[in-house]
């Protein structure tokens, strides 16, 4: 495994880290096997969040069961709370769930402009983060987000040591201006969505593209030992990205377009409990993976389908990629329910 500096933190992290979202969807046994396989192969950076279901809890159990070797693992988590009291409570919860007395990196999770002002203002979350750092409960403070127009002002404050952002062949134009800001401020760059939420068909090529940039680590989400093995291979190779590789990635980007779901999950708070990312996942199988019958069967088995949508627009307000979610849901429903014939 290759390792790089995490900005000015003094930490050395594996160039392939572990994105902690998917393990909240699998059983504890599979989650532990996946985590332990990653650790065995040299992955020493793991990212999770308070909002990732039971991800923190599974990671904590995985670290505990891995034994003394787990002390080499660098832990990062994050919270969407903006005030000091709530952030202090989330830090304590994270420590408990992760079964540790020290978290290496705690991040402010996806603030919007007003949320960033609250975080940095009197009584804001930054106060609790600093207190936790002074007490040794956390080591470093970072910011994570999907909004480049918010991340750059946050980075320019000089208050954050790391930045976590999407970076892949499709989102690169949106976030490329963040890279020189982070480099100038010696911030560690943590790359989420390196595989576009699993949509890019060649993980090795996509990961090499990400790692050809001055980033610290890429954190693809993984929920099986096999995924770990495939992704980790890219962290052991020299970064050799040819013109042919770029051409393949650009062709994939053109095929996907820009109006696709990255499965970030910010639309999860649907008032009728419609699992929007799951609908779009089934639709992707229908349109791109020659699995129409399977996709329609899976959609029909959902507890809530698009027919229940209230057209409230909350999903579009929360989507960091500004997708026309309601229109795309209606189109997906027509295909998946057979109404487009």
pLDDT per residue rounded down to tens, the chain (341 residues): 999 999 999 999 999 999 998 898 899 999 999 999 999 999 999 999 998 889 999 999 999 999 888 899 999 999 999 999 999 999 999 999 999 999 999 999 989 888 999 999 999 999 999 999 999 999 999 999 988 889 999 999 999 999 999 999 988 888 999 999 999 999 999 999 999 877 788 899 999 999 999 999 999 999 999 999 999 999 987 777 888 999 999 888 887 777 778 777 778 889 999 999 889 888 877 876 557 887 899 899 999 999 999 999 999 998 888 899 999 999 999 999 986 55
Residues 6+ apart with CB under 8 A from 199: 256, 260, 284
Examine the domain organization and report whether 220 and 284 are in the same domain.
Answer: no
Is 327 among the domain residues? yes
Last residue of a domain, one of 217, 251, 285: 251
Examine the domain organization and report whether 92 and 153 are in the same domain.
Answer: yes
Examine the domain organization and report whether 221 and 285 are in the same domain.
Answer: no
- What was the pLDDT predicted at 289? 58
Examine the domain organization and report whether 53 and 184 are in the same domain.
Answer: yes
Is 271 among the domain residues? no
Examine the domain organization and report whether 145 and 280 are in the same domain.
Answer: no
Is 231 among the domain residues? yes
Q: Is the dihedral of CA 202, 206, 209, 215 positive or negative?
A: negative
Examine the domain organization and report whether 189 and 93 are in the same domain.
Answer: yes
Examine the domain organization and report whether 15 and 80 are in the same domain.
Answer: yes
Tell me which residue of 173, 193, 82 sits closest to 128, measured CA to CA: 82
Examine the domain organization and report whether 225 and 152 are in the same domain.
Answer: yes
Is 109 among the domain residues? yes
Burial 220-244 (b: 16+ CB within 10 A, else e): bbbbbbebbeebbebbeeeeeeeee
Q: How far from 211 is each of 54, 74, 114, 154, 236, CA to CA, in Å?
A: 29, 19, 32, 23, 11
Is 260 among the domain residues? no
Residue pointed to by tokens 């989330």: 90
Contact 78, 91 (CB under 8 A): no
Is 59 among the domain residues? yes
Examine the domain organization and report whether 175 and 38 are in the same domain.
Answer: yes
Cα separation, 189 vs 216, whole angstroms: 5
Last residue of a domain, one of 194, 218, 251: 251
Is 12 among the domain residues? yes
Examine the domain organization and report whether 298 and 179 are in the same domain.
Answer: no
Examine the domain organization and report whether 185 and 297 are in the same domain.
Answer: no
- What was the pLDDT predicted at 260? 77
Number of domains in the chain: 2
Look at the chain and count its residues: 341
Examine the domain organization and report whether 139 and 205 are in the same domain.
Answer: yes
Residues 6+ apart with CB under 8 A from 51: 79, 80, 109, 265
Q: How far from 305 is each of 44, 274, 330, 332, 341, CA to CA, in Å?
A: 40, 6, 10, 10, 19
Range of the domain at 176: 3-251
Domain CATH number, residue 16? 3.20.20.100
Is 267 among the domain residues? no
Last residue of a domain, one of 251, 286, 301: 251
Query: Which pTM does this prediction carry?
Result: 0.83
């Amino acid at each position: 495994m290759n390792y790089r500096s995490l900005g000015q933190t003094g930490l050395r992290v594996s160039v392939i880290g572990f994105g902690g979202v998917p393990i909240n969807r699998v059983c504890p046994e599979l989650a532990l096997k996946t985590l332990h396989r990653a650790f065995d192969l040299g992955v020493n950076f793991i990212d999770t969040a308070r909002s990732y279901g039971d991800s923190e809890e599974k990671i904590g159990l995985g670290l505990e069961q891995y034994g003394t070797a787990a002390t080499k693992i660098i832990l990062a988590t994050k919270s969407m709370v903006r005030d000091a009291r709530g952030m202090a409570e989330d830090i304590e919860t994270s420590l408990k769930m992760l079964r540790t007395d020290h978290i290496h990196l705690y991040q402010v999770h996806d603030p919007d402009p007003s949320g960033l002002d609250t975080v940095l203002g009197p009584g804001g979350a930054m106060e609790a983060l600093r207190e936790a750092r002074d007490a040794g409960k956390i080591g470093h403070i970072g910011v994570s987000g999907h909004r480049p127009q918010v991340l750059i002002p946050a980075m320019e404050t000089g208050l954050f040591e790391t930045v976590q952002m999407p970076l892949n062949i499709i989102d690169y134009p949106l976030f490329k201006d963040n890279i020189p800001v982070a480099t100038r401020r010696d911030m560690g760059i943590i790359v989420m969505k390196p595989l576009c939420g699993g949509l890019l068909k060649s993980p090795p090529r996509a990961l090499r593209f990400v790692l050809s940039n001055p980033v610290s680590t890429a954190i693809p989400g993984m929920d099986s030992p096999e995924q770990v093995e495939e992704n980790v291979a890219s962290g052991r190779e020299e970064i050799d990205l040819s013109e042919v590789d770029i051409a393949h990635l650009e062709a994939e980007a053109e095929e996907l377009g820009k109006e696709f779901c990255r499965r970030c999950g910010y639309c999860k708070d649907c008032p009728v409990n419609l699992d929007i990312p799951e609908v779009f996942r089934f639709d992707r199988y229908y349109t791109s993976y020659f699995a129409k019958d399977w996709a329609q069967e899976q959609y029909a088995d959902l507890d809530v389908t698009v027919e229940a949508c209230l057209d409230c627009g909350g999903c579009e307000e929360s989507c960091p990629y500004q997708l026309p979610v309601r229109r795309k849901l209606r189109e997906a429903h027509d295909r998946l329910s057979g109404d487009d014939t």
